[in-house]
Amino acid sequence: ALVRLEPLFSLFHKQWYQRRVRGVYLAMNVAMQNLCVRAIYYLLSEWTSLAVTLVTTLRKFLSLLLSIVLFNNTFTLDHWFSAILVFTGSALFSGLVKMPMQDRLEAWWRGVTGAEMKENQIQPC
């Protein structure tokens, strides 16, 4: 009886092709990771750490949204709440948005006296 080798070659070819595709994906992933790490180091050398944190947080949030759109992942109310907290905290910390009583707290932190507060038109606590 003759043994058919065609299915064996077909299986070998399929596995070889899958390994090649995985290798290409791995090489692309390594190249992109290298690019991202270099970009972060460049940002750290040029900008403040807060700006870098804000940029990376925004990048991760956009990555999450892309994951939701492309792969139909769920985005729950907890995700929205967490995203709002992160961006609100970043905005407050950066000074983009002022907190109520922020001037008073900063003056207290710096040890400004009552007379200096009046001179700078800061309402005492």
Between CA 78 and CA 58 the distance in angstroms is 17
| Higher pLDDT, residue 72 or 30 | 30
Q: What pLDDT digit, counting tens, does each position of 36-72 carry?
A: 889 888 988 988 887 888 888 888 888 888 888 888 8
Question: Which position has the token pair 């700078």?
Answer: 120
Confidence bin at 3 (pLDDT 50/70/90): low
Between CA 48 and CA 43 the distance in angstroms is 8
pTM higher than 0.85: no
Q: What pLDDT digit, counting tens, does each position of 72-82 carry?
A: 888 889 988 98
Between CA 14 and CA 31 the distance in angstroms is 26
Mean pLDDT on 80-101: 77
DSSP 3-44: PP-HHHHHHHHHHHHHHHHHHHHHHHHHHHHHHHHHHHHHHH
